[in-house]
Amino acid sequence: MNPAHPDFYYFPSAFNFYRQDQLNEALRETSKLQMLDYFWTHFLLTIIYSALGDQKHAKKAAHETTRLYPDIKEKAGFELEK
């Protein structure tokens, strides 16, 4: 893999680690993302922190997700189907 690849390359591996319940690895991959103005970064952090039982960080990430994408509650299903 190109060491200078775009940050979005970390999304598939982070989601895959999450899907396999390898939550610390998912968090590690997500922490490599520098896409702080992209709602998916914070959405992914929200579900990982929630699964880890870290409600403080999950709430912070959820708040940031909602700030970046105010309609996320209504459109989450649509976004996840993509």
DSSP H or E segment with residue 6? none
Over residues 23-77, the pLDDT tens digits come to 999 999 999 999 999 999 999 999 999 999 999 999 999 999 999 999 988 887 7
- pTM of the complete model: 0.86
- Output the six-digit token pair for 36: 């702080």
What is the C-alpha separation between 12 and 17, in angstroms, rounded? 9
Alpha-carbon torsion (77, 68, 26, 57), positive or negative: negative
Q: Structural domain boundaries of the chain?
A: 11-30+37-81
The string of DSSP letters for 9-29 reads GHHHHHHHHHHTT-HHHHHHH
What is the C-alpha separation between 39 and 41, in angstroms, rounded? 5
